[in-house]
Amino acid sequence: MQTTNEVKGTTSQRLAYVVDAHNLGCLVRIAGESSTRRAEYSEAIQQHGVVIRSCHLVIVDESVSPLQVIWRLGTIGTVLTLDAGMLTLDLGYRRITIPFQDQRQPEERARQLVGGDRVLLRGSPLEQAVVIDVLSAGELSHPGRLLAAALDVIAKRNVIQ
């Protein structure tokens, strides 16, 4: 597992788990930390109607106070079953069954998912999402890799000034 410093981006953007959410902001736990902090949604998040729930992984900008959610990266769900190529997950607010598509790194796929595993899904609509990481002890297995890839996409879209 990576340390907090390895999870931190080259700028002030950090991965964060949404603990609770409402219409203007949320309570987040920065990856690698134990305490929670208040965050508001960026203007872009609000203008585009991006829904943020307690099952989401987001990127926050910690150069402002309060923190600002600038990107929704994925959805975290708990595996209920994996059977005949179908993955059933509990997202906390609903259960969903989707075709199992494993886009973890090849060496990570050797470990089969089992009931109780928490996974990070990426994709929209959620019914077409793919598994991109597994959580261990409440933390992403590869936060640095995910943050770097996400920041690259965000920079290409000119979201970060």
Q: Which residues of 56-89 are buried (b: 16+ CB within 10 A; e: fewer)?
A: bbbbbbbeeeebbbbbbbbbbbbbbebeeeebbb
Q: How confident is the model at residue 153 (pLDDT cuts 50, 70, 90)?
A: confident
Residue 19 pLDDT more than 70?
yes
pTM above 0.85, yes or no: yes
109 phi and psi angles, rounded to 5 deg: -70, -15
Amino acid at 56: H
Q: DSSP of 121-148, one letter per residue?
A: EE-SSGGG-EEEEEEETTEES-HHHHHH
Mean pLDDT, rounded, of the chain:
90
**Rounded to an integer, what distance in angstroms lies between the CA atom of residue 102 and that of residue 129?**
10
Domains of the chain (ranges; CATH) run 75-136 (2.40.50.140)
Q: How confident is the model at residue 155 (pLDDT cuts 50, 70, 90)?
A: confident
pLDDT, greater one: 57 or 24: 57
Residue 4 has a pLDDT of 38
Residue 2 pLDDT more than 80?
no
